[in-house]
Amino acid sequence: MVVLQPGRLPVRPDSGIFQYAGWYMAQGGTLYTEIWEVKLPLAYEIPALLALLSGGNILVHHLLNVMITIIAAVGSGLLVSLLVHDLTNDRGAALISGVSVLLLPGFFYLPAYGFKAKFFVTITALLSIYSARTERPMLSGGAAAACVGFYQAAAIVPILAVVLSYQHDKVRGAARAVAGGVVLTAIMVAPIVLSGATSAMITEAILTLFIIDTGHVSLIDALVSGGRYFGVAAPAVLLGGIGILFSISDYNWRDTWWITVAAVWFGFIVFFVDYDSYPDLIPGLVIVAIGVGIIYDKFSWKHGRAVIAGVVSICIVVNLILVLSGGVIAGIPSIKSPQPLDDLQQRTYQKFGEDGEKAQIQRPTVQYLYWNQIESNTCHIRLSGTEIRWLHMTNKPWIDKNCGDLQTATEHIG
């Protein structure tokens, strides 16, 4: 519905920066020095490769990003099913767990708005765990490194890969997992090193996370907001949480410990580190989906299984109806049409000036730059909240041509 509508297609601001950075890199631009960004390079290198494949056609580039993100979303659901089947040997549990990724409204249509790194986080994390459990340690380590390359907060995944590989093949398995991670990491950072942007990457993608207060919401606000975004699917999410508890008590801990560790880790990330909008819930969502499959498996009572399947199905169907109807309940994400280019040409951003007073500046949005293939006259393109805080803290101009000053970052550590 989103992809097939006529005319220019909608692109989310966060998808826009990935795709714009990819297009810009394909034109010879340098990530981190000419584009200030806080994620590790793989999240931008994939769109850059797609830009090369598109032959310079920006619509083809966007559609390629949509296609590959849809594949990542579908693949995440399939891997959830495979993992649950591997744990339970129950086809019904595997099926209901794979479908349960739709408990978060928007999961099924977010890829239609362009490249979304969180879907690549889930597919690489799940692939890493599944590969380790099926005795493919090198693939597990490589997928784990890729996962972090899309999202630094997924740093738990390489640890899971190494420990799971050690469980199956002792030191040899762990060593092969580490080797796979090293190889993928080398491939990922090689373009950055060759372009001379290593120190800029360290500044923006690593040190900035320790220096800048991201203004994270409170625990209560996160709970309320998360409940609102899951909407009427909250009962099924609760079932998934109970299933995670069952994974601790009713299975061999050697087979299921990673579920609890992943759930606790991504819960901590959402509640205390990184929660800006509902896509940040996606990594935790796949753990909840695994929990749904587990609780289904533990109910040997036929009618109990029917109730669980019914609750999950009703929750998903009602949420899909609400999304397609434009979000009747406040907070439910809904499908939106693209904004007119005129509305994207100038947007007002606010920051604090050197005297502490609020300052305003009007700049084109990243979507406007992307669709018109315009090279930005500054390395500060998106002007996210974190980026604006960085500019305020360092007294850097908005029109900076060259970003990634490592000395400036080290001066503000601590």
Task: Give the pLDDT confidence of 63-108 residue by residue, as tens digits.
Answer: 999 999 999 999 999 999 999 999 999 999 999 999 999 988 778 8
Q: Structural domain boundaries of the chain?
A: 13-324
- Kindly report, residue by residue over 16-58, the tens digit of the pLDDT: 999 999 999 999 999 999 999 999 999 999 999 999 999 999 9
Exposure b/e, 41-58, CB count within 10 A at least 16 = b: bbbbbbbbebbeebeeeb
- Kindly report, residue by residue over 270-312, the tens digit of the pLDDT: 887 777 777 888 999 999 999 999 999 988 777 889 999 999 9
- Whole-angstrom Cα distance, residue 19 to residue 36? 14
Give, in order, the Cα–Cα distances in Å from 345 to each of 9, 10, 115, 364.
Answer: 16, 15, 21, 4
CA torsion through residues 354, 356, 362, 365, sign: positive
If we measure between CA atoms, which residue out of 232, 229, 236 comes closest to residue 278?
229
CB atoms under 10 Å from CB of 23, counted, come to 24
One-character DSSP codes across 150-192: H-GGGTHHHHHHHHHHHHHHHHHHHHHHHHHHHHHHHHHHHHH
pLDDT at 337 over 90: no
If we measure between CA atoms, which residue out of 250, 209, 171 comes closest to residue 390?
209
Mean pLDDT value across residues 392-402: 81
- Kindly report, residue by residue over 258-270, the tens digit of the pLDDT: 999 999 999 888 8
**What does the H/E/C string look like for 271-304?**
HHHCCCCHHHHHHHHHHHHHHHHHHHHHCCCHHH
**What does the H/E/C string look like for 33-81?**
CCECCCCCCHHHHHHHHHHHHCCCCHHHHHHHHHHHHHHHHHHHHHHHH
CB atoms under 10 Å from CB of 98, counted, come to 25
- Whole-angstrom Cα distance, residue 264 to residue 256? 13
**What's the pLDDT at 365?**
86
Higher pLDDT residue, 320 or 160?
Answer: 160
Secondary structure of residue 246 in the 3-state scheme: helix
- Whole-angstrom Cα distance, residue 271 to residue 266? 9
Q: Given pLDDT bands bounded at 50, 70 and 90, which one contains residue 390?
A: confident
Mean pLDDT value across residues 319-323: 79
Q: Given pLDDT bands bounded at 50, 70 and 90, which one contains residue 6?
A: very low
